[in-house]
Amino acid sequence: MNSITKKVNDELIKLGASMVGFGDITELPDKCRNSLPVGISVAVKFPPAVILGISEHPTKEYKDWRTKLNGSLNIIVKSGAEILAGMGFNAIYLETGDEKIPHKTIATRAGVGWIGKCALLVTEEYGSAIRIASILTDAPLTISIPINSSKCKDSCNSCMSSCPKCSIGKSMGRWNSTGIFL
């Protein structure tokens, strides 16, 4: 990890990120990435008790935490873009509701996780119990190895059987063979 990557990673963690990943996004159309070559995926985790409290439908507590985490993420990615700009690089932050490029695509390119049967980003450490946002930049960051295929086992359906909405897994076809979720 080069010194710029370490500094950006450390600052984002200090700001409250649970996970940070850096990925090459040059395979995506120039227009959707503003011709910037690097995507930074920033994730914050849900408290485990909030996720465990969901039974049939998302609870008020879950919705409140989702709103809180989205607000935190938006501050983190805005601050991250300002840090990069202060270092002399171009940087654009994409808030949680901004789907110019799906945050899941940037996260897979940055090696943060894969798209599970649930059609959500799944990480080794937190499963799908995270919220994500992104930064696009031209900073010379050390990029991670992208994740191009699901790590879900064919026989595992725990996310599908435990999801309160029971409608997951229907959009898996949107993750193409190169690991791009569009």
Element (H, E) at 121: strand 121-122
Write the CA distances from 51 to 43, 59, 123, 126, integer angstroms: 16, 9, 15, 11
User: What predicted TM-score, i.e. pTM, was given to this entire model?
Assistant: 0.87
| Residue 122: count of CB within 10 angstroms of its CB | 24
pLDDT of residue 86: 98
CA distance 167 to 151: 20
Q: What is the pLDDT of residues 57-90, one digit of tens each?
A: 788 888 999 999 999 999 999 999 999 999 999 9
How close are the terminal C-alpha atoms of the chain, in Å? 29
Domains assigned to the chain: 3-174 (3.40.109)
Q: CA 112 → CA 65, 85, 166, distances in Å? A: 21, 24, 25
Check pLDDT > 60 for residue 176.
no
**Which one-letter amino acid corresponds to residue 182?**
L
**Residue 106: which of 140, 135, 63 has the closest Cα?**
135
Q: What is the pLDDT of residue 1?
A: 83
